[in-house]
Structure formats: structure tokens, C-alpha cells
Structure 1
């Protein structure tokens, strides 16, 4: 592996050690669960977070890529609830 590849691997190892990934779930009512996850990673020369939300009752999934983990989760969650509202699945 070249120096740049080693750097990327080291940066990923440090990021994982610093807690740049996580997950959780919320109950949106009537036992319907929404799970969320986020993961930070280098994209080009920038650190970005990928947020993913899944509504377990419908299978609807949304993804957002942002500069903050909170932003990635927030945008993904908002998109998910907009899709569920459009499907009249709330």
C-alpha cells in the first residue's frame, strides 16, 4: 500500500476510535420503529458523514451525506418522514 493509502487507512482507524459511527432507533408510534445510523469517512479530501434511516414497517430507506453527523441524521430523518407522509404511511 502506498503512503496515501496508508494515510487513509490510518485516518479511518483514528476516526473509528473517536466514535464517528453510531446507531439508534425511535418508536414512531404503534410499535413502528425507525432505525438510524451514521458513519464518518473521507470523501475526496473532506470528512463527511453518511446518515441512513430505515422505517422497519414499510422498508422505506433514506440516506443523506453531510459535513456533520447531526446534519446527516437530521436530513435523512426529515426525508424519511416526508416520504412516509407522501405515502400516507404515518
Structure 2
């Protein structure tokens, strides 16, 4: 597939992009090169290749899901001591939706 100069101008018009004749010619060349590359890639036989989520077979290292605070009640109390209003361990905030 290759584009024509008129198609490049039409796409630029639809995208509301002002494009000069020199830019249109240059863009036409670049787009046709991209389409040629896509056609080359589509010609490759991938019938025996399994789809993959990532190009490298790596596993993400995650930290252990464990409690790191020794006294969470004291920590919460310290945080809530500076809050304007709290009740039953919860922060009270102004109503924003009526």
C-alpha cells in the first residue's frame, strides 16, 4: 500500500494541520517507507510463534506483602492527632456532594 500526495493533504486537512508542499512531499515519502516496512513485517511467517506480552522473558521482583509497622494503632493515633476531625479511627471531611 502506498499513499498519494492528495491523500496526505486530505489527512492533514482532517487533522487540521497546515502543511506546505515541501512538508507534504517529505511526509509522503516517510509514510510510504513506514507502509513498506509494515508490508515486509506482515510477509513474515509467524504461524509457529506464540504470542507474548513482553519481548524479554523476565519476572518482576515484588516485595513481600507483610506488615512492617510494629504498632499500627499508635501510628494511626499519631497521624490522626494532627487531623482536624476524626471519629472511630476515621477521618471526617466536609461533604462535597449533596
Q: TM-score, normalised by structure 1?
A: 0.31
Q: Greater strand share, 1 or 2?
A: 1
Q: Greater helix share, 1 or 2?
A: 2
Q: TM-score, normalised by structure 2?
A: 0.29
